[in-house]
Amino acid sequence: MGKIFETPLYPYRRSPDQDRPAPARHAAIVVGAGPVGLAAAIDCALNDIPVVVLDENDKVSFGSRAICFAKRPLEILDRLGCGAPVVDKGVQWRHGKVFFRDRQVYEFDLLPERGHKRPAFINLQQYWFEHYLVERLKALAAEGKPIEIRGGNRVVSVRPGGDHVALDVVTPDGPYAIEAEWLIACDGALSPIRAMLGLDFVGRVFEDNFLIADVVMEADFPTERWFWFDPPFNPGQSALLHRQPDNLWRIDLQLGWNVDKEQEKSPERVIPRLKAMLGEEVDFELEWVSIYTFQCRRMEKFRHGRVLFAGDAAHQVSPFGARGANSGLQDADNLVWKLKLVRDRIAPESLLDSYDAERVAGADENLLNSSRATDFITPKSEVSRLFRDAALDLAARHTFARPLVNSGRLSVPCTYDGSPLNGPDADALPRRTRPGSPAPDAPLGSGWLLDRLGGRFQLLAIGAPAPDSLDVYGVPVETLRLDPNDDPSGALRERFLGGAPAALYLLRPDQHVAARWTAYDEGAVRAALLKTIGRT
């Protein structure tokens, strides 16, 4: 059996669009079937926005690339209907060790907060992640949802028009033209669409190379994240070992800048390096070897008229901190409900500018975090190395220095503080659920809170009277009434009430808090809803 990432999943098939006299116009076209494009397309279909996904390839990601997926993207997948297979296949972990030179300096337990349906992290090969998204996409298509994926379709030109975007696509059968009312560009870090539109992508280049090897081995290393600074087997550099499902292990070795990449990728060079790390006696097989360099950069704006950039096409971060795919999924989550309202002419087109504002803020947070981790791992000056080593030496003896050690701050979702869509806040309620924040999960007597949220506007009424539903200029707001006593763990109270006896939360379709109050006031809810759809 071939590897999953070598099997065509959506092989090229001729589309009727290729035989039409005039270009077919689709409501939405997504370019790129990576994790972000697939998620965006699925969300479009769930919102009944007819969508076509174009990818030059016909397979999932070659090699695993992203392996670490955080809770928020898993919650997004739950909303999209494919969280369960991803989490079931993934490996959960919470422990880790940090080594400096030849010794362990400390071990940690992420101590994930209890009372969430989804774990803080899972490790899963990106190809499996994409595989489950493709399956979900196909299942939706089979149910009759307006979604289609076309492999072997390479976009070669993009021309924005007044009310559409025109595309030229090359296929094994030759070129054809197609149009989109809205184009979602998820075509990766090298984004040809970005280049076609002559748009910027500025940031910092990190002059470093990392050798990444996925090896299959029957090893009894625990399911932990092991990170080495300056280990004897890779002097002056860093190393990472992390487990994936199927006895697959991720090894990441920093190589430095002046290396011969082709030579370093050859098994004659890779195998001795890995043996030095894992021990001579460990038997392993190489599944995938690659060398990567990275940059930390973003586009100045993610929205360009009817072209919306998402994922790596819009922003690129270092892998330390697992923020690439994780943040790209949050882009999709943020974008599609807005597109739906704009397309239905319920919200003004300017609502899409809030996609830009909110996700640029998210990208900046990720860029800051991943640049800091990278600077700690690879100090850029002598004095920076001096302090890095000081922190590591102290961490072995004193707990205070451990939070200073930075081998990647693992992805957490962005709170859209200061978003133009945020409505009023109530000071008495807990800070973590302030407007702009993603609603945290909580166990209810039966099931989980987040399973009951999302995909529509909702008014979460906890211990407060509120009507069953509201209609605000054609936007339905559905009330979800919760009893503050139906709270077996106390998490609901802690996360949503604090000391207050009752609370009302206006929630967006992406489960983010738009506004909140301690008592119901219809006028206030209406005003907040209008604000969150960009109508004021």
Partner 1 sequence: MALITTPNIVDPDDFYAELIALHQGRAKEESDAINARLVLLLANHIGDRRTLREAFEAAILQERTEP
Ligand X SMILES: Cc1cc2nc3c(=O)[nH]c(=O)nc-3n(C[C@H](O)[C@H](O)[C@H](O)COP(=O)(O)OP(=O)(O)OC[C@H]3O[C@@H](n4cnc5c(N)ncnc54)[C@H](O)[C@@H]3O)c2cc1C
91 or 404: CB nearest partner 1 = 404
Give the residue among 167, 193, 161, 164 at the shortest CA–CA distance from 181. Answer: 164
Q: How far is the CB of 136 from ligand X (least distance, A)?
A: 15
Phi, psi of 119 (to 5 degrees): -70, 165
Q: Which does 391 bind (CB under 5 to 8 A by kind): ligand X, partner 1, none?
A: partner 1
Q: Which does 404 bind (CB under 5 to 8 A by kind): ligand X, partner 1, none?
A: partner 1
Give the residue among 137, 64, 508, 13 at the shortest CA–CA distance from 286. Answer: 64
92 or 384: CB nearest partner 1 = 384
CB atoms inside a 10 Å sphere around CB 401 = 17
Contact window for partner 1 (CB under 8 A) among 58-66, 308-316, 387-395, 407-415: 387-395
Q: Does residue number 368 form part of the binding site for partner 1 (CB under 8 A)?
A: no
Q: Does residue number 389 form part of the binding site for partner 1 (CB under 8 A)?
A: yes
Give the residue among 319, 296, 326, 327 at the shortest CA–CA distance from 408. Answer: 319
Q: How far is the CB of 402 from partner 1 (least distance, A)?
A: 11
Q: Does residue number 156 form part of the binding site for partner 1 (CB under 8 A)?
A: no
Q: Compute the distance between CA of residue 511 and CA of residue 437 in angstroms, rounded to an integer.
A: 9
Q: Compute the distance between CA of residue 48 and CA of residue 530 in angstroms, rounded to an integer.
A: 22
Q: Which does 188 bind (CB under 5 to 8 A by kind): partner 1, ligand X, none?
A: ligand X
Q: Are 121 and 92 in contact (CB under 8 A)?
A: yes
192 or 435: CB nearest ligand X = 192
Residue 267 makes CB contacts below 8 A (sequence gap 6+) with 286, 289
- Report how far Cα 337 is from the mean position of its chain's Cα atoms: 17
Give the residue among 402, 393, 208 at the shortest CA–CA distance from 292. Answer: 208
Q: Compute the distance between CA of residue 508 and CA of residue 514 in angstroms, rounded to an integer.
A: 6
211 or 528: CB nearest ligand X = 211
158 or 507: CB nearest ligand X = 158
Give the residue among 61, 190, 196, 85 at the shortest CA–CA distance from 135. Answer: 85
Q: Which does 357 bind (CB under 5 to 8 A by kind): partner 1, ligand X, none?
A: none
Q: Does residue number 528 form part of the binding site for partner 1 (CB under 8 A)?
A: no
Q: Which does 187 bind (CB under 5 to 8 A by kind): partner 1, ligand X, none?
A: ligand X
Q: Does residue number 404 form part of the binding site for partner 1 (CB under 8 A)?
A: yes
Q: Which does 386 bind (CB under 5 to 8 A by kind): ligand X, partner 1, none?
A: partner 1
Q: How far is the CB of 10 from ligand X (least distance, A)?
A: 11
Site string for partner 1, 462-491 (x = CB under 8 A): ------------------------------
How are beta strands 103-109 and 248-256 bridged, if at all? unpaired
Measured N-to-C along each axis, helices 71-80 and 35-46 cross at an angle, to the nearest 10 degrees, of: 40
Residue of 44, 80, 215, 391 interacting with partner 1 (CB under 8 A): 391
184 or 472: CB nearest ligand X = 184
Helices (H), 143-227: 192-196
Q: How far is the CB of 109 from ligand X (least distance, A)?
A: 20
Query: Which residues form the interface with ligand X (CB under 6 A)?
Result: 31-37, 54-57, 61, 65-68, 126, 154-155, 186-188, 192, 212, 292, 311-313, 319, 322-326, 328
Decide: residue 229, CB within 10 A, 0-12 exposed, 13-18 middle, 19+ buried.
buried
Q: Which does 312 bind (CB under 5 to 8 A by kind): partner 1, ligand X, none?
A: ligand X
Q: How far is the CB of 519 from partner 1 (least distance, A)?
A: 37
30 or 391: CB nearest partner 1 = 391
Q: Compute the distance between CA of residue 405 and CA of residue 388 in angstroms, rounded to an integer.
A: 8
Q: Which does 326 bind (CB under 5 to 8 A by kind): ligand X, partner 1, none?
A: ligand X
3 or 397: CB nearest partner 1 = 397
192 or 534: CB nearest ligand X = 192
83 or 324: CB nearest ligand X = 324
Q: How far is the CB of 418 from partner 1 (least distance, A)?
A: 22
Q: Compute the distance between CA of residue 391 and CA of residue 457 in angstroms, rounded to an integer.
A: 47
Q: Compute the distance between CA of residue 481 and CA of residue 468 in angstroms, rounded to an integer.
A: 8
CB atoms inside a 10 Å sphere around CB 272 = 11
Render 299-348 in DSSP notation, one character per residue: -S-SEETTEEE-GGGTEE--STTS-HHHHHHHHHHHHHHHHHHHHTTSS-
Q: Does residue number 401 form part of the binding site for partner 1 (CB under 8 A)?
A: yes
Q: How far is the CB of 229 from partner 1 (least distance, A)?
A: 15
Secondary structure letter of residue 377 according to DSSP: H
Residues lying near partner 1 in the complex (CB under 8 A) are found at 386-387, 389-391, 393-394, 398, 400-401, 404
